A and B are shown apart, each in its own frame.
Chain A
Amino acid sequence: MDQTKRASSLELFFDLVFVFAITQIVSLIVHDLSWSGLFHGALVLAMLWWVWGHYTWMGNSIDLDPRPVRAAILISMAVIFVMAQAVPDGVRRRRRLARHRVSDHPARGLLAVLVRDRRRRSAAGGIAGVHPGQPRRTGRDRDRSLSGRRSAMVVARRLGNRDGLGWGCRNHGLARQRRALRRTPTASS
């Protein structure tokens, strides 16, 4: 496996929908230049940031080359495009924003299934095996020491997680952690 992989062109292409989303946030703030406008902008940005974090993290932890995965990413792109379109209106009419947020679920659910599938297949190769010999941990560090399959389930659940907020940090850390481990010879034995 190519360990020094940089952001692929697919990922950069995918990010373009987030560029559009950020443009929408700027216009949201410009059209309501007040403390409440700033607050709304910050809220929407927080949501987008954590959704984006999920995808970035996922791009780091799985192989994006297989066609079904690519297809799923492109579908999510379309869904996020729709979400981004709803940004200015969504803050004024919250229910509509909520609907668009919900519409992201099928795409993320699909991705989650693919992630799980690939992880299961790669488990034999040891890619998902994290800390095989260590005792189960509790609290903050628990997620990082789960077995491959259980962590894949955690991943799937979190990708499909309704609010997309709050979990991003740990996922991100998990991914970096796993990649770091993957790089070490013992993790791939």
Chain B
Amino acid sequence: MINAFGEAIVAVGAVVADVEPSSELAQLLVIGILGAVALWWAYFDRMEELWEGAMARATGQETGRIARDVYSILHFPMIAGVVLYAVSAEEIFLHPNDPIAGMVRVTLGLSLLLFLLPIVAATWRTVQSFQWERAIAAVTIAAIVFGSGEMGAKTVLLVTTVLLLGAMTIEYFRYRPVLAAKAAASRSASSGSHDERK
């Protein structure tokens, strides 16, 4: 997973490398990085811990089933989401002030849905907890992107990023006690030895 993020940043960097530096571009890059930070936070801060803890607690064949569902199956749309985010960012960076073109709307909207909803599903699969903040944020952001009309691409990107960060913040405070309990439980159950590369 971290590889996909690396790729997204490299891809966007490669596009803007040829663009004349300006304060406009600097603003865009900051928004772009904020968006990447929001996605990174959404995945790496709590999820790994939650899922791996669940896997460490599972016994027998259940461990394999969780790994299959969460890693092999649900990670595929997540990676696709990051790929589409990179595609959308590239296009938006090239035309920051125009309204978002039709197909880019599709890729940006889809990217957030594909990235966030499987995370919700994986959390439900592992610890039977529903991350409604994330689900609502994903659907709202997709609706905003599709209905953005004449709004400039930069503004849309900023609004979506702020929304996502907001939802993550609410979730962070809601999940803090849950996570502390889960972490304590999984520490005592087993020392996890799962591969965190994806």
Contacts and interface: CB of A to CB of B under 8 A. Distances in A.
Interface in B184-198: 190-198
B167 interface: no
A59 B198 CA distance: 13
Contact of A45 (B63, B72, B79): B79
Contacts of B106: 38
Contacts of A18: 3
Interface in A61-86: none
Interface string B58-87: 111101111110011101100110011011
Contact of A22 (B3, B66, B91, B198): B3
A41 B83 contact: yes
Interface residues of A, number: 44
Contacts of A11: 195, 197
A180 B58 CA distance: 9
A68 to B, nearest CB: 22
B103 interface: yes
B11 interface: yes
Interface in A32-69: 33-34, 38, 41-42, 45-46, 49, 53, 56, 59-60
Given A11-B197, A144-B64, A183-B193, A30 B90 contact: yes
Nearest to A17: B3
A36 B190 CA distance: 46
B62 to A, nearest CB: 9
Contacts of A179: 193
A26 B86 CA distance: 7
Contact of B191 (A4, A15, A34, A46): A4
A166 B41 CA distance: 31
Interface in A106-123: none
B178 interface: no
Contacts of B195: 6-7, 11, 56, 59-60
A169 B83 contact: no
Given A19-B6, A45-B79, A180-B64, A33 B91 contact: yes
Contacts of A33: 87, 91, 101, 103-104, 107
A169 B193 contact: no
A22 B79 CA distance: 9
Interface of A: 3-7, 11-12, 15-16, 18-19, 22-23, 25-27, 29-30, 33-34, 38, 41-42, 45-46, 49, 53, 56, 59-60, 141, 144, 168-170, 172-177, 179-180, 183
Given A7-B197, A15-B3, A141-B61, 12 more contacts: A12-B197, A22-B4, A26-B11, A30-B91, A33-B104, A56-B195, A56-B198, A144-B64, A168-B72, A172-B67, A176-B63, A177-B63
8 contacts: A3-B193, A15-B3, A16-B3, A19-B6, A22-B3, A26-B8, A42-B80, A45-B83
